[in-house]
Amino acid sequence: MKTVLEPFRIKAVEPFRITTAAERETILAKAHHNLFLVRAEDVMIDLLTDSGTGAMSAQQWAAIMTGDESYAGCRSFYELEAVVRDLTGYRHVFPVHQGRAAERILFGCMVMPGQAVPNNAHFDTTRANVEFLGAAAVDFVAPQAADLAAAAAWKGDLDLVKLEAWLAAQPKGSVPIGLLTITNNRVGGQPVSMQNLRGVSALYRRYGIPFFLDAARFAENAWWIHRLDPEWQNVPLPKIARAMFDLADGCMISAKKDGLVNIGGLLCCNDDAVANKVKNLLILTEGFPTYGGLAGRDLAALAQGLREVLDPEYLHYREASAHYFASHLSQLGVPVVQPFGLHAVYVDARAMLPHIPVQQLPGQALACELFLQGGVRSVEIGTLMFGYTDRATGKPVVADHDLVRLCLPRRVYTQSHIDWVIESFAELMQRREHIRGLDIVEEAPLLRAFTAKLRPVQVPQGAVASRA
Ligand code: F0G
């Protein structure tokens, strides 16, 4: 079937302003060709992130009205706790305001300067929270993830061979915690197989290292296990999710993704001593442990979101939307990272715009052109985000890839919106040779992508390429 049947009706609408191409020129110039500096009301279709941008269900809005706002021991907390225990099996459940709060608190309790934390791939904030404590965040990306165009399965896996060799070489007591991110956001939202989850769990156990999942997109990972692994084909999704959580000692969850809420997070664990430390730090910086920096209504909406997210109809629709989007782009000849994940479709901008030298930021150039073409906001994951100027040599250091991430907010856009984005890409493909690169005019020393000012390259391409 060609039509993506969204398994919901729309009860509340949020109109967006339809801008003209000329208006978008002005908007982009004012934002210095940085889409983070564009106001959301000037965006027609916002695919910047799937984090906190989903639509809540009627039942979640109803829960908002019945949330208990008591400071201590609110009913909404106990309802959430019961849902999370049922889902994960973990004894201790702490609400936090979002994923990075869970990271800061958990690492603050467990990680010391000079130590190292392994993961399949740390998300930016996870890495930053490890490094903030003076520890090293070490990634073990599976080898099958290296080729962006290869439709290999389980590209989110952790490289067990490398992890094992690395663990064997670490001094005793220098690895305070082991992580695994499901799905693997840094590697295109690719899933982690149950076999890999088992292997990682066994390795961490063998070395006596507490194992925590970064489970922001646990439902999407469970869906891929159901779809791709014959062993789990006939197993209900909550059982698959539980099997993943059972392999670890706890988890951190940014509930802004598969919690189906606009704000919220969770930190869960089994160990009483860890839970005690977490509780004390939580009180210090987030709030009393039965609300953790959230309103009672947020807890109630999250409990309901977690009840809804493992609905196979919903996850099937999510896969159908991502598949529709990715396959139509591929048919146009747009180089799409394979296989597609559920939370986003990634375009390889270097492959689409080979005439733009990497120093001239092909990913950012493509993201800007997509905005000019269709009022669509995406995000560059490439040299603007991860590149930097080497202090010693003064030379620019480029990223491994220049990708454009087109995130799919949950239950927000319909097939028609996605068709609009596909049609915008069709136009871009027609005139791709004429798309120009960008120069950075101003940049911050850290996290430059968020505030950098850019402008289209001013001189003929050949001259700039030879200068770079
Ligand atoms: N872990 C993963 C895997 C994430 O993708 C994110 C956020 C976090 C942790 C941090 O959670 O934002 O609630 O504090 N990812 C968003 C994104 C921001 O756009 O991919 P947070």
- Tell me the torsion sign for CA atoms 397, 399, 404, 405: negative
- Cα-to-centroid distance, 107 and ligand 1 (Å): 16
Whether the CB of 262 sits within 6 Å of ligand 1: no
Is 464's pLDDT higher than 70? Answer: no
- Cα-to-centroid distance, 99 and ligand 1 (Å): 6
Mean pLDDT of 146-150: 91
- Tell me the torsion sign for CA atoms 178, 180, 181, 184: positive
Is 279's pLDDT higher than 90? Answer: yes
Tokens 């977690």 belong to which residue?
Answer: 306
341-388 pLDDT per residue, tens: 999 999 999 999 999 999 999 999 999 999 999 999 999 999 999 898
Is 461's pLDDT higher than 70? Answer: no
- Cα-to-centroid distance, 255 and ligand 1 (Å): 9
Whether the CB of 254 sits within 6 Å of ligand 1: yes
- Which atom of ligand 1 is least distant from the CA of 343? 20
| 3-class SS of residue 21 | helix
Mean pLDDT of 397-417: 96
Residues 232 and 226 sit within 8 Å (Cβ to Cβ): yes
- Which atom of ligand 1 is least distant from the CA of 98? 13
| Domain layout of the chain by residue ranges | 21-50+311-456, 58-308
Mean pLDDT of 394-415: 94
pLDDT given at position 389: 82
Whether the CB of 98 sits within 6 Å of ligand 1: yes
pLDDT band at 466 (very low <50, low <70, confident <90, very high): very low
What is the value of pTM for the model shown? 0.95
User: What is the residue with the minimal CA distance to atom 9 of ligand 1?
Assistant: 99
Residues 50 and 343 sit within 8 Å (Cβ to Cβ): yes
Across the chain, what does the average pLDDT equal? 95
Residues 183 and 341 sit within 8 Å (Cβ to Cβ): yes
Q: Which CATH class is domain 21-50+311-456?
A: alpha beta
Mutate to test the pocket of ligand 1, among 105, 139, 185 (most ligand atoms within 8 A of CB): 185
Whether the CB of 214 sits within 6 Å of ligand 1: yes
234-243 contacts at long range (C-beta below 8 A, 24 or more positions apart)? 237/310, 237/312, 237/315, 238/87, 238/310, 240/194, 241/87, 241/88, 241/310, 242/87, 242/88, 242/89, 243/194
- Cα-to-centroid distance, 457 and ligand 1 (Å): 32
User: What is the residue with the minimal CA distance to atom 12 of ligand 1?
Assistant: 99
pLDDT given at position 467: 35
User: What is the residue with the minimal CA distance to atom 11 of ligand 1?
Assistant: 99
- Which atom of ligand 1 is least distant from the CA of 256? 13
pLDDT given at position 460: 60
CATH number of 58-308: 3.40.640.10
Is 1's pLDDT higher than 80? Answer: no
- Cα-to-centroid distance, 343 and ligand 1 (Å): 12
User: What is the residue with the minimal CA distance to atom 4 of ligand 1?
Assistant: 123
Compute the distance between CA of residue 402 and CA of residue 379 in angstroms, rounded to an integer. Answer: 11
Whether the CB of 216 sits within 6 Å of ligand 1: yes
Whether the CB of 218 sits within 6 Å of ligand 1: no
- Cα-to-centroid distance, 395 and ligand 1 (Å): 30
- Cα-to-centroid distance, 384 and ligand 1 (Å): 19
Compute the distance between CA of residue 146 and CA of residue 148 in angstroms, rounded to an integer. Answer: 6
User: What is the residue with the minimal CA distance to atom 16 of ligand 1?
Assistant: 51
44-95 pLDDT per residue, tens: 999 999 999 999 999 999 999 999 999 999 999 999 999 999 999 999 999 9
Compute the distance between CA of residue 258 and CA of residue 216 in angstroms, rounded to an integer. Answer: 6
Compute the distance between CA of residue 124 and CA of residue 221 in angstroms, rounded to an integer. Answer: 20
Whether the link from the prior residue into 389 is cis, omega within 30° of 0, is: no
Query: How many CA within 13 A on the CB side of residue 40?
Result: 7
Burial code of 241-279, b = ≥16 C-beta within 10 A, e = fewer? bbbbbebbbbbbbbbbbbbbbbbbbbbbbebeebbebbb
- Which atom of ligand 1 is least distant from the CA of 126? 9
Is 11's pLDDT higher than 90? Answer: yes
356-366 pLDDT per residue, tens: 999 999 999 99
pLDDT given at position 155: 97
Whether the CB of 100 sits within 6 Å of ligand 1: yes
199-211 pLDDT per residue, tens: 999 999 999 999 9
